[in-house]
Structure 1
Amino acid sequence: MDDRQGGALVVLEGPDHVGKSTQVERLAQWFRQRKRSVCVSREPGGDALGETIRTMLLGESVDGWTELFLFLAGRARHLNEVIEPALRRGELVILDRYTPSTLVYQGAQLGEEVVLQLTSLPVFRRPEITIILDCAAPLGALDTLDRFEFSGLDGWHERRVRYQILARRFGWVLLSGDGSPESVTERLVGVLAQEGIG
């Protein structure tokens, strides 16, 4: 298959501390070295409003529905201001977290099906590929001050299982994140090549 040279949205997902952010940057570097135009972003965040929402939600506790709608508002803005323009320019967009995180985190609290309905609204673009990094254990210590990590290892393993179940349900790629950063990048590049993304 010929490499897809138009815009493509690649989502990298998984529980905390499985190397997502590291691999997003390594993938971007790999493609840029091959003269591919790349846009790197993250959720929550990615633009000024998204970063404000991120700071607010990481710093204080709000009820589950408010949290969900703030995340979705930030996503809609992020898509409109950052992702869609980059895709129209033909760039490869590599995104750290997207819909799977919403289903895993907010879905566990509010109900998976209702969260799925909201995240499936037409405003929310479907990625060309979603890859879940799966590790046997966190690659670093969990932050006890981060309210999304305070549940410790038990909570981390619960979220890992939810990612695995959802990956099977929705056809996301479940990829081992164990091993050296170089070996994980090599696996990721191989998966993207199979999808014609290069």
Structure 2
Amino acid sequence: MKASQKKLNANTPAATERGKRRKNGLPTGSRFYGLPVPGYKDEEVGGSLIVLEGPDGSGRSTQIALLTEWLESEGFAVQTMGLRRSYLVAADIDELLENNAVTRMTLALMYATDFYDQLEHRILPALRSGMVVLADRYIFTLIARGTVRGIEREYLHGLYQMALRPHLTFWLTVKPEVAFEREFKKSHAISYWEAGRDMSLSSDLFKSFIRYQNMVKKEFEILARRHGFVAVDGERSVREVNGDLRKRIAAQLGIRSTKYRPSGALASVWR
């Protein structure tokens, strides 16, 4: 870990929060949305959690790859996480989604299990090591998806009360029509679930996708106000979007220069 990062960690907002007195067992300005994870100690955690949210077709995964290379070139160790990546239940969720054999509530609880398994076994260990954790989606997607499927919004917030508050949350915004075009061009298919086909919104794939994504977008607008997202126009070029992300992250981590050109396979997406 860089010496400059060690110095930064002692002066970041997160470090300031750690110095505040605790009341009734909960820290003022807690790093969690509710109760802390059992065994969690503020003084043991020195890394940064940065989240990228946005629909399929917003360029999240591409930006995660670019940011990982840039941060590593600046001397930061990086860990990534995302939905359905836990060793515990990711394969089970994939199978249920593939077979369309799951109820809305069961799916929400399975995703919560997937998230908390990653929190305990991937996110927190990385943060304890002083790493930067880049999240390709976070609890906000799960809350929005569950809410539009009829699960109470506050129930879902309660379900994720032990989630860590990110240091930065970016929301890559794209119009549903643009997202549809990008996804279809990339894979020549549209996800059953990303089109909301389980909700019987329309027999037409395109219309179902647009309606579902607009519903999710409205939930994200609520979440953005509640949690202070940084909205980034994801319809611009990969290079322009990445430049905005690097500026914000550099300010958070104390990186002086934001100059960067991707190498290898990533160079092909730099346009």
Would you call these one fold, judging by a TM-score over 0.5?
A: yes
Q: Which residue of 1 aligns with 2:221?
A: 164
Q: Which residue of 2 aligns with 1:22?
A: 62
Distance, in Å, in 2 between the alignment partners of 1:96 and 1:102 is 12
Offset of 1:126 from its aligned partner?
1.7
Q: Deviations over 1:3-38 (max 9, x none)?
A: 645411111101221011111111111111112111
Moved over 6 A (4+): none
In the alignment, which of 84, 104, 115 is matched to residue 156 of structure 2?
Answer: 115
Are residues 17 and 61 of structure 1, via their aligned partners in 2, closer, same or farther at CA, if it must alter by over 3 Å? farther
Counterpart residue identity of residue 141, structure 1? E
Counterpart residue identity of residue 13, structure 1? E
Query: What are the within-5 Å matches in structure 2 for residues 47-86 of structure 1?
Result: 47-59=86-98, 60-86=100-126
Query: What are the within-5 Å matches in structure 2 for residues 1-198 of structure 1?
Result: 4=8, 6-45=46-85, 47-59=86-98, 60-109=100-149, 110-120=151-161, 122=162, 124-136=163-175, 137-138=178-179, 140-141=182-183, 143-149=189-195, 150=197, 151-196=208-253, 198=255
Counterpart residue identity of residue 83, structure 1? I
Offset of 1:44 from its aligned partner?
2.2
Q: Which runs of 5+ in 2 are unaligned?
A: 10-45, 198-207, 256-271
Instruction: State the percentage of identical aligned residues.
Output: 26
Q: Which runs of 5+ in 1 are unaligned?
A: none
Counterpart residue identity of residue 112, structure 1? R
Give the secondary structure class of the aligned counterpart of 1:35: coil
| Bigger RCO of structures 1 and 2 (CA < 8 A, at least 6 apart) | 1
Distance, in Å, in 1 between the alignment partners of 2:137 and 2:97 is 15
Offset of 1:65 from its aligned partner?
1.3
Aligned residues: 194
Distance, in Å, in 1 between the alignment partners of 2:74 and 2:190 is 40
Q: Which residue of 1 aligns with 2:31?
A: none
Of structures 1 and 2, the larger Rg is shown by: 2
Give the secondary structure class of the aligned counterpart of 2:183: coil
Offset of 1:161 from its aligned partner?
2.8
Counterpart residue identity of residue 55, structure 1? D
Q: Deviations over 1:27-76 (max 9, x none)?
A: 1111111121111221121x322431441343123111111111111111
Distance, in Å, in 2 between the alignment partners of 1:158 and 1:106 is 11
Distance, in Å, in 2 between the alignment partners of 1:163 and 1:106 is 12
Distance, in Å, in 2 between the alignment partners of 1:9 and 1:97 is 12
Counterpart residue identity of residue 117, structure 1? G
8 Å contact kept, 2:56–2:183? no
8 Å contact kept, 2:52–2:60? yes
Distance, in Å, in 2 between the alignment partners of 1:197 and 1:164 is 29
Distance, in Å, in 1 between the alignment partners of 2:132 and 2:91 is 25
Query: RMSD of aligned C-alpha atoms?
Result: 2.0
